[in-house]
């Protein structure tokens, strides 16, 4: 299945989420998710290309993690466009509470922005000349939403379903149930039977690949539920790999600081890692090298990508 011409997926990487540009009925354009702040120049350039001279009128966020909303402030200042976000974290955005918004805990940056409208679950949005239903997608982030176009059979799944897996179940790290919510989100996707999925990260996939991704995601959530420590391990690996991608070089001392910060406020992680952050950082450094994400030069880890 090919994408309609009015939907353009700007596939990015792991530091920045994909940006999905829609050419709208009103001769303007919208973009779903804006990537990470350090990639903003590239994001602006890619969106400029995709919108073909149409004014960017609207940013829609699936959730406000730093890799999905990091370009909001600059794009809004540049285009005077509106920002539409799910209601779940609107209060935190209003107050710009960096602790509650996860940026501090994850040692990630996100320039403050203001929003203009809320997209509630079951609202209908007009994007790219089609109707899209806002669907709840708790699990990875309880405020996250997906966008579903029944007419085209296309789902924007955000971090609820990737071709290989899904995002870290962040609420569980803080002792808030999230596994069952993620399972329910996967079940909802299964009921929709999307013909094509545009994930928050990675290339769109369709047909049999959707069924395969769903099956793998179901086994993965069962595997995590069986031993919640696995979610903490994955979270730590993902957070450190993200930071390494951003910084390109990290000393073991910096890694230790990151581990210490990640543990703050995350009660489940504290229980899973009773050892000192220094030992954890040493262990994680080995893991990153073994996974091929880094090479090691004495005390310094160097990103391989």
Which residues sit at the interface with Zn ion, rule CB under 5 A? 65, 159, 167
| Contact predicate 227/236, CB 8 Å | no
> Is the CB of 8 or the CB of 140 nearer to Zn ion?
140
Nearest distance from C-beta of residue 220 to Zn ion, angstroms = 16
Instruction: Write out the two tokens for 251.
Output: 């000393």
Q: What is the DSSP letter of 37?
A: G
Classify 300 as helix, strand or coil. Answer: strand
What is the C-alpha to C-alpha distance for residues 110 and 143, in angstroms, rounded to an integer? 17
> Is the CB of 144 or the CB of 213 nearer to Zn ion?
144
Nearest distance from C-beta of residue 66 to Zn ion, angstroms = 8
> Is the CB of 65 or the CB of 243 nearer to Zn ion?
65
CA-to-CA separations, 258 to 64, 233, 239, in angstroms, rounded: 21, 14, 9
What is the C-alpha to C-alpha distance for residues 64 and 110, in angstroms, rounded to an integer? 9
> Is the CB of 167 or the CB of 178 nearer to Zn ion?
167
Nearest distance from C-beta of residue 198 to Zn ion, angstroms = 15
> Is the CB of 65 or the CB of 105 nearer to Zn ion?
65
> Is the CB of 238 or the CB of 289 nearer to Zn ion?
238
In the bound state, the residue with its beta carbon closest to Zn ion is 65
**H/E element, 254:** helix 252-263
Classify 205 as helix, strand or coil. Answer: strand
Nearest distance from C-beta of residue 18 to Zn ion, angstroms = 12
Q: How many residues does the chain have?
A: 305
Nearest distance from C-beta of residue 166 to Zn ion, angstroms = 10
Nearest distance from C-beta of residue 141 to Zn ion, angstroms = 6
Give the strands of the sheet with 205-206, arranged side by side: 124-127, 130-136, 145-149, 154-158, 196-199, 205-206
Q: Would you state the torsion angle of the CA atoms of residues 210, 216, 221, 227, taken in this order, to the nearest 10 degrees?
A: -170
The contacts of residue 162 (CB under 8 Å, 6+ apart) are 199, 200, 201, 202, 213
Nearest distance from C-beta of residue 123 to Zn ion, angstroms = 21
| Contact predicate 282/252, CB 8 Å | yes
Q: What is the DSSP letter of 122?
A: T
> Is the CB of 54 or the CB of 220 nearer to Zn ion?
220
């Amino acid at each position: 299945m090919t994408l309609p011409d009015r939907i353009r997926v700007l596939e990015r990487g792991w530091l920045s989420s994909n940006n999905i540009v829609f050419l709208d009925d009103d001769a303007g354009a919208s973009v779903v998710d804006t990537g990470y702040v350090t990639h903003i120049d590239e994001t602006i350039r890619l969106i400029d290309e995709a919108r073909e001279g149409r004014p960017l009128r609207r940013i829609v966020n699936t959730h406000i993690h730093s890799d999905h909303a990091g370009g909001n402030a600059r794009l809004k200042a540049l285009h005077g466009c509106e920002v539409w976000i799910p209601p779940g974290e609107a209060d935190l955005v209003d107050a710009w509470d960096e602790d509650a918004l996860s940026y501090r805990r994850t040692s990630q940056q996100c320039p403050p922005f203001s929003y203009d409208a809320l997209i509630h679950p079951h609202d209908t949005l007009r994007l790219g000349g089609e109707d899209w239903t806002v669907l709840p997608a708790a699990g990875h982030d309880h405020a996250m939403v997906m966008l579903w176009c029944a007419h085209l059979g296309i789902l924007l799944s955000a971090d609820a379903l990737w071709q290989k897996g899904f995002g870290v179940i962040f609420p569980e790290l803080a002792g808030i149930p999230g596994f069952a919510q993620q399972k329910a989100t996967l079940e909802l996707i299964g009921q929709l039977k999307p013909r094509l999925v545009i994930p928050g990260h990675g290339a769109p996939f369709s047909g049999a690949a959707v069924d395969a991704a769903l099956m793998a995601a179901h086994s993965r959530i069962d595997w995590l539920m069986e031993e919640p420590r696995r979610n903490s391990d994955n979270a730590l690996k993902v957070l450190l790999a993200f930071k390494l991608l951003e910084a390109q070089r990290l000393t073991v001392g910096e890694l230790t600081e990151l581990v210490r910060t990640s543990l703050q406020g995350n009660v489940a992680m504290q229980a899973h890692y009773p050892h000192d952050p220094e030992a954890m950082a040493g262990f994680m450094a080995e893991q990153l090298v073994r996974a091929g994400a880094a090479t090691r030069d004495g005390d310094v880890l160097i990103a391989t990508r």
